[in-house]
């Protein structure tokens, strides 16, 4: 999975990342789904250890262009985990109350506590993406936010949170096909605003390249995930999650009482 990780300070040109890539995986779609099932089972066990130990926290950030697969990734990668210890935070257009505070205020309230996994479906990165492309704030405002975000994430890491950030990389043709499927099968999910964002594709690619370059750090790395093939997207995200949690070397806590000889009446 290291091939998809953005090293700190690396120049990023998304045209060099193949959204159809399947890496070194030696198998087809069915094999990939079987592999994901095994990852689901391992993730379920690791999440239970995380919840039981109450020592670590995991924050997963998902960003993508519209129809990039954020919802599908959450649904398939986290299938079977205990919802008691996993939750999803969505960040939509800020409310009046949220706009009355700094832009990270609403984000900080959603970060995980001990034993939790929290998934950001969109995130604080909207404040250096949407606001930039739509020119909601001037460049000197969104430009300094890279430093704010790095400092914020460093504070979270220093306080015990493990951060993983995934950019789900699809190409424009794949987005077109997914929009058409959405229009035909789930029109309630389709918005005319989606077409406006599609017209801004070059501006968003440039903004994402700057985000990946400026905010992929040792404590909060970005992964560019090939996402045209949904099964491989899920496999990459699931593998990174499992490997990261395994590296925490978590243990179930010892029982508070001596249970030797206990007989349930």
Digit-coded pLDDT (tens) for 107-154: 999 999 999 999 999 999 999 999 999 999 999 999 999 999 999 999
**pTM of the model as a whole:** 0.95
Q: For the chain, what is the domain count?
A: 1
Please give the pLDDT value at position 232: 96
DSSP 109-147: TTS--TT-EEEEES-GGGGGTHHHHTTSS-HHHHHHHHH
Whether residue 265 is contained in a domain is answered as no
Kind and range of the H or E run holding 237: helix 230-247
Q: What is the CA radius of gyration of the chain?
A: 20
Q: What is the pLDDT of residues 149-182, one digit of tens each?
A: 999 999 999 999 999 999 999 999 999 999 999 9
Whether residue 159 is contained in a domain is answered as yes
Q: Domain range holding 46? A: 2-247
Mean pLDDT of 46-65: 97
Whether residue 263 is contained in a domain is answered as no
Whether residue 191 is contained in a domain is answered as yes
Whether residue 223 is contained in a domain is answered as yes
Please give the pLDDT value at position 265: 85
Could you tell me if 73 and 119 are in contact, meaning their C-beta atoms sit under 8 angstroms apart?
A: no
200 confidence band (pLDDT: 50, 70, 90): very high
Could you tell me if 231 and 32 are in contact, meaning their C-beta atoms sit under 8 angstroms apart?
A: yes
Provide the CATH number for the domain around residue 203: 3.40.50.300
């Amino acid at each position: 999975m290291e091939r998809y990780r953005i090293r700190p300070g690396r120049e990023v040109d998304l045209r060099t990342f193949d959204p159809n890539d399947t890496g070194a995986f030696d198998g087809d779609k069915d094999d990939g789904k079987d592999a994901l099932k095994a990852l689901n089972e391992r993730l379920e066990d690791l999440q239970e250890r995380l919840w039981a130990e109450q020592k670590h926290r995991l924050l997963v950030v998902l960003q993508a262009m519209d129809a990039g697969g954020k919802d599908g990734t959450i649904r398939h990668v986290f299938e079977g985990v205990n919802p008691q210890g996993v939750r999803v935070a969505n960040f939509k257009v800020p409310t009046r109350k949220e706009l009355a505070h700094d832009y990270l205020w609403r984000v900080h309230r959603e970060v995980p506590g001990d034993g939790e996994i929290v998934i950001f479906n969109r995130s604080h990165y909207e404040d250096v993406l949407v606001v930039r492309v739509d020119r909601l704030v001037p460049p000197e405002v969104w430009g300094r936010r890279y430093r704010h975000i790095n400092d914020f994430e460093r504070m979270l890491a220093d306080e015990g949170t493990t951060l993983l950030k995934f950019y789900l990389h699809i190409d424009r043709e794949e987005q077109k096909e997914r929009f058409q499927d959405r229009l035909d099968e789930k029109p309630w999910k389709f918005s005319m605003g989606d077409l406006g964002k599609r017209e801004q594709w070059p501006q968003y690619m440039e903004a994402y390249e700057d985000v990946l370059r400026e905010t992929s750090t040792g404590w909060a790395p970005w992964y560019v995930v090939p996402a045209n093939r949904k099964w491989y997207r899920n496999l990459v995200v699931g593998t990174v999650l499992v490997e990261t949690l395994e590296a925490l070397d978590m243990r179930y806590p010892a029982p508070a009482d001596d249970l030797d000889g206990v007989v349930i009446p």
